[in-house]
């Protein structure tokens, strides 16, 4: 089968489309004929080698952590899904940007969700739900998302959401229901001037070195979570670590319910064919995307 892969770490140009053996669903897994796969900052970190120690790989490696498609194999012990169902989901060990992919966690694709949206949805939904759970975000609290241009976690259980982004992305954040704030030094003063609200918790999404200011804003290092900066743990800030033992399918099912009800929209910035994988990774590596980048599979 055709897949997007790299044989050595490096910039997006190390990516090529090659032939690899088809995977098959094991116990507790399903296999899908892929229609679309997302490209996340995590994919960029894996390919570049930035996460070489955090995520050891056997090369060559097929990129992609999430995907959507049609189920064509169901492993032993799997219930509630059958061949022919349309789903989106995650593969914790990657290998989703291919003609076929095995998923560890999944949810049924809502009828109002197009394939590109579904392909790019799973990592964002799972990350957002897990972050909100860890921080205890609920209705009535104020949450700051530093680096919110990608839309991660913008629907926050009735909480007031403040999102930092460059000025051109402010209308996008407003569409998502967030209060937009310019990112960069002086953030505590801008938040106080623009919103006048105390901030209960904050998530470092972009990794721009703003953790110290986020701690100042919340007044508590334990109220700050980083998705991308392990060094922040030295300041008492928690790093959001993926837990493969958790019920990640439940998080995806929750997101699917929100999409079906019109309460969550997955915004796709651009969809690339597989042979333009380097361009897709270059777009994500720029950290200036407004919404999800996805790769479509014929």
Summarised one tens digit per residue, pLDDT across range 280-293 is 999 998 877 778 99
Residue 167 has pLDDT above 60, yes or no: yes
The reported pLDDT for the residue numbered 25 is 98
Residue 44 has pLDDT above 60, yes or no: yes
Q: Taking phi first (over 0 means left), then psi (-120 to 50 degrees means alpha), and beta for anything else, what does residue 226 get?
A: beta
pTM (2 d.p.)? 0.86
Indicate which CATH number applies to the domain containing 13. 3.90.180.10
Residues 110 and 173 reside in one and the same domain: no
| pLDDT tens for each residue of 60-102 | 999 999 999 999 999 999 999 999 999 999 998 899 999 999 9
| pLDDT tens for each residue of 176-235 | 778 888 888 888 888 888 777 789 999 988 777 788 899 999 999 999 999 878 888 888
Find tokens 């999800």 and name the residue.
292
Residues 91 and 9 reside in one and the same domain: yes
Residue 251: inside a domain: no
The reported pLDDT for the residue numbered 151 is 54
Q: Is the peptide bond before 60 cis (omega within 30 degrees of 0)?
A: yes
Residue 154 has pLDDT above 60, yes or no: no
More confident residue, 268 or 263: 268
The pLDDT-based confidence of 150 (bands split at 50, 70, 90) is: low
CB atoms within 10 A of CB 142: 20
Residue 172: inside a domain: yes
**Residue of 126, 103, 108, 130 whose CA lies nearest to 118:** 108
Indicate which CATH number applies to the domain containing 220. 3.40.50.720
Length of the chain: 298
The reported pLDDT for the residue numbered 215 is 92
Residue 256 has pLDDT above 60, yes or no: yes
Domain count, the chain: 2
Range of the domain at 209: 125-239
Residues 81 and 165 reside in one and the same domain: no
Residue 158 has pLDDT above 80, yes or no: no
CB atoms within 10 A of CB 134: 14
- 3-state class percentages of the chain: helix first, strand second, coil last, to nearest 5: 30, 25, 45
* Dist. CA 246–CA 285, nearest whole Å: 29
Residue 272: inside a domain: yes
* Dist. CA 139–CA 142, nearest whole Å: 9
């Amino acid at each position: 089968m055709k897949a997007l892969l790299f044989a050595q770490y490096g910039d997006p140009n190390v990516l090529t489309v090659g032939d690899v053996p088809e995977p098959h669903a094991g116990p507790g897994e399903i296999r899908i004929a892929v229609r679309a796969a997302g490209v996340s900052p995590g994919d960029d970190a894996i390919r570049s080698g930035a996460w070489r120690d955090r995520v050891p790989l056997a090369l060559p490696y097929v990129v992609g952590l999430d995907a959507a498609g049609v189920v064509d194999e169901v492993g032993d012990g799997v219930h509630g899904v059958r061949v022919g169902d349309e789903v989106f989901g995650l593969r914790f060990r990657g290998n989703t940007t291919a003609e076929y992919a095995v998923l560890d966690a999944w949810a049924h694709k809502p009828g109002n969700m197009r394939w590109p949206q579904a392909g790019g949805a799973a990592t964002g939904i799972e990350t957002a739900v897990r972050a909100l759970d860890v921080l205890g975000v609920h209705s009535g609290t104020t949450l700051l998302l530093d680096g919110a241009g990608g839309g991660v976690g913008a629907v926050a259980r009735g909480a007031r959401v403040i999102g930092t982004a460059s000025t051109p992305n402010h209308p996008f954040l407003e569409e998502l229901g967030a209060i937009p704030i310019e990112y960069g030094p002086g953030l505590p003063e801008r938040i106080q001037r623009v919103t006048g609200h105390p901030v209960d918790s904050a998530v470092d999404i972009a990794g721009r070195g703003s953790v110290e200011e986020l701690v100042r804003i919340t007044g508590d290092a334990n109220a700050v979570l980083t998705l991308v900066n392990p060094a922040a743990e030295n300041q008492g800030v928690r790093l959001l670590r993926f837990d493969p033992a958790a019920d990640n399918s439940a998080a995806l099912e929750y997101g699917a319910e929100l999409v079906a009800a019109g309460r969550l929209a997955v915004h796709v910035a651009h969809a690339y064919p597989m042979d333009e994988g380097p361009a897709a990774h270059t777009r994500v590596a720029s950290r200036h995307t407004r919404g999800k980048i996805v790769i479509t599979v014929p």
